[in-house]
Amino acid sequence: MDWSTDFSGKSAFVTGAGGGMGLAVATGLLNAGAEVTLFDLKDAPEGLPQGATYVQGDVSDNAAMSAAIEARAAASGRLDYLVNAAGVLWFERDKSAVDMDLDVWDQVMSINLKSVVHSVRSAVPLMKKSGGGAMVHISTIQCLRGDTAPQDAYQASKAGMVALSKSVAIQFAADQIRSNVVFPGPTLTPMQQRWYEDPSKGEAIADYVPLKRLGTPEDMANACLFLLSDAAGFVTGTELTVDGGITALP
């Protein structure tokens, strides 16, 4: 069976779906037959496939998130999948914890981590009614290591996502609800674009990657779709690293 095309009749909710990885995941699900609500602060992207519902909203707004998730389940009669792809990486303001404005710390935690709590709280009861489901939360390889140019709030929030995912996986395994994390490496997305605006810098980063290229949103979407699919039916509480081999380097 081709697991990548077996999402017909399924219902999904994807945050951060106005662009980048979130949009790639949502598009993959839609093209594979799922009904999907895309949730993001950005304006709706053009050309969404049939089955898409776009809701413009703030992931840090619990009421807005809950209403959109419940509406997705009501429209489809079920909720099968949750993908948390929303996040912010504020290069200019997110610094060392020793130096940064703690209001910025709180904002990053609210958007990157507390939003996952919002979505999980709303999704779990609906997945239980559907007989189970799967969640994927998009983190980063940066939460596995330090950095000479730190973004401590970003890294800490993305590490917290891993701990939360593991806890959710164990709490609701008996309900056939799975929860996993994807660790992207350097990827050509709008959030990371400033890393690669200088072609020579992008080439240097690509050369550092063992596979000698930068990741694409579709690379991350493929990993997410696998983890959501029945092909990963015995996979929960773990992390899938999609970084071209960077974290395997000595």
Active site residue 54: no
- In the sheet with 81-84, reading across from the earlier edge strand, the strands are 52-56, 35-40, 11-15, 81-84, 133-138, 177-184, 239-242
Domain annotation covers residue 136: yes
| pLDDT at residue number 1 | 42
56: CATH: 3.40.50.720
| pLDDT at residue number 2 | 53
Domain annotation covers residue 50: yes
| pLDDT at residue number 212 | 96
Angle between helices 115-129 and 62-76 (to 10 degrees): 20
Domain annotation covers residue 180: yes
Report d(CA 30, CA 88) in Å as an integer.
25
Domain annotation covers residue 111: yes
| pLDDT at residue number 194 | 65
Copy the structure tokens of residue 207. Answer: 């050369």
Domain annotation covers residue 248: no
Domain annotation covers residue 247: no
Q: Which of 81, 154, 196, 208 is catalytic?
A: 154
Domain that holds residue 123: 3-242
The pTM is what? 0.95
Total number of domains constituting the chain: 1
Residues of the chain with pLDDT under 70: 1-4, 194-196
Domain annotation covers residue 40: yes
Report d(CA 155, CA 143) in Å as an integer.
5
Domain annotation covers residue 249: no
Cα→Cα distances 76→8, 194, 196, Å: 12, 38, 40
